[in-house]
Amino acid sequence: MSELANESSAQRFESVFSGTAEGTWVAPGRVNLIGEHTDYNDGFVLPFAIPQRTEVAAARLPEHSWEAWSALNGETVRFTEDDLTPGGVPGWGAYVASVVWALRERGYDAPGARLAITSDVPLGAGLSSSASLESAVLGALVDLGRLDVPVEERPAIAQLGENKYVGMPSGILDQSASIRCREGHALFLDCRSLAVEHIPFDLASAGLAILVINSNAPHQLVDGEYAARRASCEAAAAALGVPALRDVSLDGLDDALARLDDDVLRRRTRHIVTENDRVLRTVELLRAGDVRGIGPLMTASHASMRDDFEITVEQVDLAVSAALEAGAFGARMTGGGFGGCVLALVETSAADEVRSAVEKAYAARAFTPPATFVATAAPGAHRL
């Protein structure tokens, strides 16, 4: 399948640019198993890459100019060095330009290039379609320009572009997942030190599966609410006199809460501190080979996002409760929130039953039907 896709993105390059691509670079979308909104609090996350990915067939241009074509809309975006100020390239092309801009900001001479882009990462579903685009473009430019950019530095470069060029105040979760994940593993990332540990995540041999349920809820208020959550966390850390909420331990949580006089800040803090702890406990269970045991932590994480961090919506909560009622060991929303996807940990043989229970619950409420797929832990970004 990937060979076909490879052929197709290289062939598309040929038909769009009447030339031959020098190579094809891919980068996946991701789901986050647990650890939501902890990344910009210097905390812990545990994503894994999904098989859906963005592919970029690319060739170098002699000048510092860029032409990017996307199969999603058949559009070609062109830009030069003159457009490399934030806001210079609008729309989806901004994600491409952001990578060029960020490489240059970090002192790397990003080569001019033609890029033909295809992707099967669902858009607007909280599966990191943008990070997969940025990461694939980054891989292409680094290799085409023979730039010596260590892999551990790449996520921060893509994140810099997204923060400063695109203007989204996201943390480092998505780009780290897309670039650093390994097949068959979840990525345990310390977002302060950027140290990673690849945690074996072998669902199949435990007879389990992760069902991804795209709530298909209209993504609303995402940017503003995301920025508001981030601001609240920063305000809480400042009020507590710590660099980030990561520095509040679970043991110190009650004291910290007593020192905050704002109930919203208290609840945001409680989510972050307990969520960091849930990530650590999830990692412990996986290290011990107890995949099923992580279910209750997933469900507790969802309750915390719903009640304390207030980032879920009706469709998402319904998918979680319907999945649990149908026998899932655990279920939670994944990603930034206000829509997006739910992960349900299920017995492989029960996946269909859980899927149809969620579909039925949606139908009863006349919600747009959810889309579902079973996720396996796929490889991170690489050249084909």
Choices 33-41, 98-106, 108-116, 259-267; region in contact with ligand GLA by CB under 6 A: 33-41
Q: Lay out the sheet containing 196-200: strands in order across.
A: 44-45, 185-190, 196-200
Tell me if residue 223 is catalytic: no
At its nearest, how many Å lie between ligand GLA and the CB of residue 80?
29
Annotated catalytic residue within 42, 174, 277, 308: 174
Of 151-180, binders to ligand GLA (CB under 6 A) are 170-171, 173-174
At its nearest, how many Å lie between ligand GLA and the CB of residue 113?
25
At its nearest, how many Å lie between ligand GLA and the CB of residue 51?
19
Q: Which residues touch 365 (CB under 8 Å, ≥6 apart)?
A: 314, 318
At its nearest, how many Å lie between ligand GLA and the CB of residue 372?
20
| 152 labeled part of a ligand binding site | no
Residue 36 interacting with ligand GLA (CB under 6 A): yes
Of 325-364, binders to ligand GLA (CB under 6 A) are 335-336
Say how many CA atoms lie within 13 Å of 257 toward its Cβ: 18
Give the angle 316-317-318 at the CA atoms, nearest 5°: 90
Residue 37 interacting with ligand GLA (CB under 6 A): yes
> Which CB sits closer to ligand GLA, 173 or 322?
173
Nearest Cα to 12, choosing from 114, 120, 133, 96?
114
Rounded CA gap, 110 and 37, in Å? 31
Structure tokens at 99: 């990578």
Distances (CA, A) of 272 to 33, 109, 344, 368: 15, 38, 21, 31
Rounded CA gap, 348 and 352, in Å? 9
Beta partners for residue 113, in sequence order = 60, 66
> Which CB sits closer to ligand GLA, 66 or 309?
309
> Which CB sits closer to ligand GLA, 158 or 240?
158
- Residues with a catalytic annotation lie at 174
Known binding-site residue numbers for Mg(2+): 130, 162
Known binding-site residue numbers: 36-39, 70, 124-130, 162, 226
Known binding-site residue numbers for ATP: 70, 124-130
Which residues of the shown chain bind ligand GLA in the complex (CB under 6 A)?
Answer: 32, 36-37, 39-40, 170-171, 173-174, 335-336
